[in-house]
Amino acid sequence: MRPVRHRSGETDAQRPTPGDAVISLRGVSKWFGSTTILKDVTFDVPRGKTTAILGPSGTGKSVLLKNIIGLLRPDEGEILVDGEAIGPMSERDLFRVRRKFGVLFQDGALFGSMNLYENIAFPLREHTRKSEREIRTIVHRQAELVGLVDHLGKLPGEVSGGMKKRAGLARAMVLDPEIVLFDEPDSGLDPVRVAHLDELVVTAQRETGATFFIITHNIPSVMRTADYLGLLFRSRLVRFGSKEDMRASDNPVIEQFLSGKADGPIGMDEMAERGDPLPSQELPVTA
């Protein structure tokens, strides 16, 4: 059967619908004191795909991620994970929902005194009652996936930045999470190591079938890894769509950001720090 093609040119298979959304944000706003960080952000993260949220530094990408895992709460709007609103949840339910997430933090967040094997095994020891033998099998499988089998005995201080990231990824995936979140996975890596990590991200996503959610400002990297993109700019989500849809967009903010040009609505200050929130009527095009 031929897939249904929508006016936007997307087929049903490419079109994110709330029905197959694993994470949904509905009108999420977040502010600290009088500073608005996120304003009325709405999008659905399609299940089993890789989604990246892009934005200049300081736009609130990490704040967004913390709201999704319930470390921060939105001031307005709601966030649903697998259709469950996490806002009104008790700590206990929130804990249950958090188990669906594996997180790769910016610096890998490995324990410096534990070797890579123990770092990767850590969530299994904390959250499961698996035997040493089962743990060994799982850790080895993960290490194989990220190419670290020969380095498991080393301490984080003895390996390269790229290897630390890979160990962080193995640890994020060791409980077989439904969703893997990445906060700027490229940070501190040279472009070649980023390209290698991206290959690994694509392979790992394909092998696990999990939903990968990446926040970053690295355009070449997300062009390799992501199926869907969202762009945050001056507190608002300018647009969310498939990578092809975003690439074809003639919205000046999207064009400038995706091409990395100095010329356009995004000023130098905004690349470094926050501007005032963009009034919604000023958004050139919305999704």
Instruction: Mark the segment that binds Mg ion (CB under 5 A) among 6-14, 57-65, 87-95, 116-124.
Output: 57-65
Q: How far is the CB of 159 from Mg ion (least distance, A)?
A: 24
With respect to Mg ion, which residue has the nearer C-beta, 61 or 165?
61
Q: Could you tell which of ligand ADP, Mg ion, none binds residue 274, using a CB distance below 5 to 8 A set by kind?
A: ligand ADP
Total binding residues toward Mg ion, as defined by CB under 5 A: 2
Shortest Å distance, C-beta 71 to Mg ion: 13
Residue 25 token pair: 């944000």
Using an 8 Å Cβ cutoff, are 65 and 54 in contact? no
Distance, CA of 101 to CA of 206 (rounded, Å): 17
Q: C-alpha distances in angstroms, 108 versus 58, 176, 268, 286?
A: 20, 18, 29, 34
Any idea what DSSP says for residue 20?
G
Choose one: 42-50, 54-62, 136-144, 228-236; the region binding Mg ion (CB under 5 A).
Answer: 54-62
Pick between residue 62 and residue 205 the one whose CB is nearest to ligand ADP: 62
The minimum distance between CB 60 and ligand ADP, in angstroms, equals: 4
Residue 196 burial class via C-beta count within 10 angstroms: exposed 0-12, middle 13-18, buried 19 and up: middle
Asked if 111 and 118 count as a contact pair (C-beta separation under 8 A), the reply is yes
Q: One-letter amino acid identity for 12? A: D
The piece of 60-68, 131-139, 171-179, 252-260 that touches Mg ion (CB under 5 A) is 60-68
Using rule CB under 5 A, residue 50 touches Mg ion: no
Kindly tell me which of 60 and 168 has the beta carbon lying closer to ligand ADP.
Answer: 60
Whole-number minimum distance, CB 8 to ligand ADP, in Å?
A: 28
State yes or no: residue 62 binds Mg ion (CB under 5 A). Answer: yes
CA-closest candidate to residue 51, choices 268, 269, 216, 187 = 216
Cα separation of 122 and 130, whole Å? 12
Helix (H/G/I), strand (E/B), else coil: 182: strand
CB nearer Mg ion, residue 46 or residue 60: 60
DSSP 3-state of 46:
strand
**Shortest Å, Cβ 184 to Mg ion:** 6
Q: Can you say how many angstroms the Cα of residue 54 is from the centroid of all Cα atoms in its chain?
A: 9
Instruction: Name which of 55 and 74 has its Cβ closer to Mg ion.
Output: 55
Residue with the CB atom nearest Mg ion in the bound state: 62
Which CB sits closer to ligand ADP, 32 or 111?
A: 32
- For the residues of 114-158, what is the DSSP string, one character each? S-HHHHHHHHHHHH----HHHHHHHHHHHHHHTT-GGGTTS-GGG
Q: Which does 63 bind (CB under 5 to 8 A by kind): Mg ion, ligand ADP, none?
A: ligand ADP
By C-beta, is 61 or 164 nearer to Mg ion? 61
- SS3 breakdown of the chain: % helix, strand, coil, rounded to 5? 40, 25, 40
Shortest distance (Å) from residue 244 CB to ligand ADP: 25
Residue ranges binding ligand ADP (CB under 6 A): 32, 37, 55, 57-63, 274
Q: Which residues bind Mg ion (CB under 5 A)?
A: 61-62
